[in-house]
């Protein structure tokens, strides 16, 4: 049977950008004879409106059963007043938690055509292609004890950084596997100089590296890593780090490359029976209520998320590269959505205009 994809467009610009991914999926079916069984369901505010919950149990079950989930974005001002337990983002968190998606892949990739668009010097970012692997399900955001307690005559806010060996090992392994498919260079970032979890992190990563003798492993303190990421990011290929540092480092690295509308992500879990990892792919951006419904959203982040699915869920790395090249071609021709406008005198294309241009470039590839 064909590989299966569950599309969860979500809210705001989610459905708008997902419509362009649909065109790309159709193109791969028609022109490359790569067929997927695609189903679609509700998540976030859209699911709340229909079912009174941001993720219906049936949808959760479908997500567990497919080869890959593609998610648009969730949330919007309409839902800000809802109780925390039914907020749109709870749908997203439930997916991540129940699918146990512990390895979050955030590429920072600079398309040649956009090297001038970055806020950094052109030679620092041109040709940049790095991947940050962030541990997503443990660490200080989840560790116990936590809370705000009374101590003496004041309050204390408490969070606990906590990592088990197996939690470190599985994310390290996913980073080494990734490095093997790329430039075979992995940098692990922690703060072993001041944190116990950092000491254990470094030990376990070093232990795992014995299974990957071809990968050149280095270690860096995360603060120094932040500095090096800004100074000369091209020294890195894959970076693996914990949940907190990964949150900060991946957001910072993302901005090396320009717009939020360009950033994809993947969240991977343990292998399923068919050998494919549990997986969810989604753009980094949110539902962008300020531009929703206006046809202004850049669909590239979502299309690049599908390219990641081709590469990491379906072993179609060449097709992923074909898609990424088509996107670069389109950008090189000066086709831009409004978020990418820099030069004067360029008229932006709409969301669907960008999708159509990418299809034309795929036809010509």
Q: Hunting for tokens 């749908």 — which residue is that? A: 91
Nearest to 5 by CA among 19, 20, 22, 17: 22
Residues 6+ apart with CB under 8 A from 244: 139, 140, 141, 161
Q: Which residues pair with 239 in a beta bridge?
A: 132, 187
Among 137, 138, 174, 298, binds ligand NAI (CB under 6 A): 298
Considering CB distances under 5 to 8 angstroms, the limit depending on partner class, which of Mg ion, ligand NAI, none binds residue 247?
A: Mg ion
Residue 125: both structure tokens together = 């970012």
Residue 204: both structure tokens together = 């376990």
Given the residues 100, 141, 185, 356, the one annotated as active site = 141
Contact of 261 with 300, CB cutoff 8 Å:
yes
User: For the CA atoms of 15, 19, 22, 24, what is the dihedral angle to 10 degrees?
Assistant: -130
- The answer to whether 184 is a known catalytic residue is no
Nearest to 175 by CA among 276, 103, 97: 103
* 254 appears as a binding residue in the annotation: no
Given the residues 30, 58, 211, 251, the one annotated as active site = 251
Indicate whether 54 belongs to the interface with ligand NAI (CB under 6 A).
no
CA distance 209 to 204: 9
Q: Tell me, by CB under 6 A, how many residues bind ligand NAI.
A: 22
Given the residues 191, 212, 237, 242, the one annotated as active site = 191
Residues 6+ apart with CB under 8 A from 122: 115, 116
Among 288, 335, 361, 362, binds ligand NAI (CB under 6 A): 288
**Residue list 311-350, contact with ligand NAI (CB under 6 A):** 339
Indicate whether 257 belongs to the interface with ligand NAI (CB under 6 A).
no
Contact of 41 with 61, CB cutoff 8 Å:
no
Q: What are the b/e assignments for 299-320, b being 16+ CB within 10 Å? A: bbbbbbbbbbbbbbbbebeebb
Q: Which is nearer to ligand NAI, 73 or 136 (CB)?
A: 73
Considering CB distances under 5 to 8 angstroms, the limit depending on partner class, which of Mg ion, ligand NAI, none binds residue 100?
A: none
User: Radius of gyration over alpha carbons of the chain, in Å?
Assistant: 21
Residues 171-210: x where in contact with ligand NAI by CB under 6 A, - otherwise, as a string: ----------------------------------------
Indicate whether 295 belongs to the interface with ligand NAI (CB under 6 A).
no
Among 106, 286, 310, 349, binds ligand NAI (CB under 6 A): 286
- The answer to whether 237 is a known catalytic residue is no
Indicate whether 305 belongs to the interface with ligand NAI (CB under 6 A).
no
Q: What are the b/e assignments for 65-97, b being 16+ CB within 10 Å? A: ebbbbbbbbbbbeebeeeeeebbbebbbebbbe
Min CB(270)–ligand NAI separation in Å: 22
Min CB(260)–ligand NAI separation in Å: 5
* 184 appears as a binding residue in the annotation: no
Min CB(235)–Mg ion separation in Å: 23
* 89 appears as a binding residue in the annotation: yes
Instruction: From 74-82, 93-101, 158-166, 250-258, give the range in contact with ligand NAI by CB under 6 A.
Output: 74-82
* 274 appears as a binding residue in the annotation: no
* 116 appears as a binding residue in the annotation: no
Contact of 267 with 104, CB cutoff 8 Å:
yes
| End-to-end Cα distance, the chain | 28
Min CB(227)–ligand NAI separation in Å: 26
- The answer to whether 122 is a known catalytic residue is no
Binding-site annotation, residues for Mg(2+) = 223, 247, 251
**Which residues form the interface with ligand NAI (CB under 6 A)?**
13, 17, 73-76, 89, 92, 260-261, 282, 285-291, 297-298, 301, 339
Residues identified as active-site: 141, 191, 223, 247, 251
Q: Which residues are annotated as a binding site for substrate?
A: 96, 106, 134, 223
């Amino acid at each position: 049977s064909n590989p299966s994809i569950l599309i969860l467009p979500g809210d705001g610009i989610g459905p708008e950008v997902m419509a362009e991914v649909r065109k790309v999926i159709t193109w791969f079916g028609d022109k490359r004879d790569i067929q997927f069984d695609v189903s679609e369901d509700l998540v976030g505010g859209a699911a709340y409106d229909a079912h009174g919950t941001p993720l219906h149990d049936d949808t959760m079950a479908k997500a567990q059963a497919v080869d890959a989930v593609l998610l648009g974005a969730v949330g919007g001002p309409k839902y800000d007043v809802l109780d925390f337990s039914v907020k749109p983002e709870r749908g997203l968190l439930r997916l991540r938690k129940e699918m146990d998606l512990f390895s979050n892949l955030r590429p920072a990739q600079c398309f040649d055509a956009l090297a001038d668009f970055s806020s950094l010097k052109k030679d620092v970012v041109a040709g940049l292609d790095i991947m940050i692997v962030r541990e997503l399900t443990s660490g200080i955001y989840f560790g116990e004890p936590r809370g705000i307690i009374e101590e003496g005559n004041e309050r204390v806010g408490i969070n606990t950084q906590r990592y088990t060996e197996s939690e470190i090992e599985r994310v390290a392994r996913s980073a080494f596997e990734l490095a093997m498919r790329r430039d075979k260079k992995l940098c692990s970032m922690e703060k072993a100089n001041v944190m116990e979890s950092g000491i254990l992190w470094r030990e376990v990563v070093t232990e795992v590296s014995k299974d990957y003798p071809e990968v050149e492993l280095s270690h860096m303190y995360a603060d120094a890593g932040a500095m090096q990421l800004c100074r000369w990011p091209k020294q890195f290929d894959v970076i693996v780090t914990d949940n907190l540092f990964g949150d900060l480092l991946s957001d910072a690295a993302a901005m090396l490359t320009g717009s939020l509308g360009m950033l994809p992500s993947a969240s991977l879990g343990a292998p399923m029976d068919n050998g494919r990892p549990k997986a969810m792919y989604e753009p980094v951006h949110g539902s962008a209520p300020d531009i929703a419904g206006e046809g202004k959203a850049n669909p590239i982040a979502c299309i690049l998320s599908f390219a990641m699915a081709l590469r990491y869920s379906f072993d179609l790395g060449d097709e992923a590269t074909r898609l990424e090249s088509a996107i670069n071609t389109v950008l090189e021709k000066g086709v831009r959505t409004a978020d990418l406008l820099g030069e004067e005198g360029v008229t932006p294309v709409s969301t669907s205009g960008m999708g159509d241009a990418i299809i034309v470039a795929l036809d010509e590839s």
